[in-house]
Amino acid sequence: MAKKRRPQPRAAAVQIKDGEVPVVGAREPCPCGSGRRYKACHGRQAAHAATELVRRPFEGLPGECDWVALRELVPAATAPLTLKDGLPEGVPSVTLATVLPMAWPALRRDNGAVLLGLQNDTSSGDISRDLADTLRRALTTEPGHPVAAGRAPADGPRLQDLLDPGAPFEPTVHTGFEFWVENAENATGEVAASLERANAAAIPTARIPGLTGAYWCEAPEKNHLRWVTPHPEEQLLDALARLAAAGTAGLGDGTRLVGSFRAHGLVVPVWDLPSSMSADDVAGPAAAFEERLAKALASDAPLTAEERRARGGLTNRQVTLS
């Protein structure tokens, strides 16, 4: 004989409005008073919002192409950031860094300055929102301490809400990670050893002056130019196909456009370069290519058979990083 089911107690009345429900652990009781766990109540909506992928997280920021490059391509670089509302008292500067020691999301120096790490794993599908949350917490962290990883609220601000849209974004590429510590030349012990290990693993990289998003890097057998572009993907592939079919997609003798990849909603063409070709050597040919590309982008003529074949080759060699 089946047991009679006891009547279940009615859930407590919701005591907090949806917009006021704080974030808690997934298995904790939901603060709204429903009696359910957070992950099965208000956490469900928050989790959905947090995992929804933002295709171009840096769109709308000055220097979007360089943001993508620093996130995906450049080992050691920094860039000063300008806050929309100015610096809080006790914070002399805010600086973006490709990576920080121990993969810290951010660091508050002894003097109050903030370093924000860019190449960290993020907890949601919106890198901009995650970075903004880390930045806000870094501004109020005690000087001399790193900022722990955290989960950004689904309705929290994004970098586009915190940074001055009129301020230029000017990255500086470094040969090593000495920017991690003040007076790095005097570092000793584990700090010096950590810097040495990080510097040894970094691929030599340089920003091509005068060209947004263009970065040269040195590899054992051949060098490369990787160029983050702002152009719509289909239009860019058509233009590259036109240049490839015409034999003008290269950057000089011994160079070759080998394909492209997608990163954070932008397309990044890649060239193989001779190992003897430095960043200074490629600057002139890259500037000339930019002029040829502008003309090809402006063309709306149908692709020829040869251009279609070239486009198919470029598409087949395309990969997506993020």
CA 128 to chain centre: 8
CA angle 191-197-200, nearest 5°? 135
Give the mean model confidence (pLDDT) for residues 103-112.
95
Give the mean model confidence (pLDDT) for residues 248-272.
97
Residue 26 Rama label (left phi>0; alpha psi -120 to 50; beta)? alpha
Residue type, 128: S
Residue from 233, 227, 230, 203 nearest 213 by CA? 227
pTM of the entire structure?
Answer: 0.83
| pLDDT level of residue 224 (50, 70, 90 thresholds) | very high
Question: Each residue of 11-35: pLDDT tens digit?
Answer: 334 444 444 666 666 667 888 888 8
Give the mean model confidence (pLDDT) for residues 57-74.
98
Give the mean model confidence (pLDDT) for residues 231-238.
97
In terms of pLDDT, which residue wins out, 184 or 98? 98
Q: What is the pLDDT of residue 123?
A: 82
Q: What is the pLDDT of residue 5?
A: 47
Residue from 224, 215, 233, 240 nearest 294 by CA? 240
Q: What is the pLDDT of residue 39?
A: 64
As given in the structure block, the two tokens for residue 287 are: 């500037």
| pLDDT level of residue 119 (50, 70, 90 thresholds) | very high
Residue 320 pLDDT greater than 80, yes or no:
no
Question: Each residue of 132-143: pLDDT tens digit?
Answer: 999 999 999 999
Residue 117 near residue 105 (C-beta atoms within 8 A): yes
Dihedral in degrees, nearest 10, Cα atoms 290, 207, 60, 48: 120
Question: Each residue of 183-223: pLDDT tens digit?
Answer: 777 777 777 888 888 899 899 999 999 999 999 999 989 99
Distance CA(245)–CA(309), nearest Å, equals 8
As given in the structure block, the two tokens for residue 221 are: 């057998």
Residue 157 pLDDT greater than 50, yes or no:
yes
In terms of pLDDT, which residue wins out, 6 or 61? 61
Q: Which domains does the chain have, with CATH numbers?
A: 64-201 (no CATH), 205-320 (3.30.1460)
As given in the structure block, the two tokens for residue 166 are: 């009129």
SS (H, E, C) 157-200: CCHHHHECCCCCCCCEECCCCHHHCCCHHHCCHHHHHHHHHHHH
Q: What is the pLDDT of residue 26?
A: 61
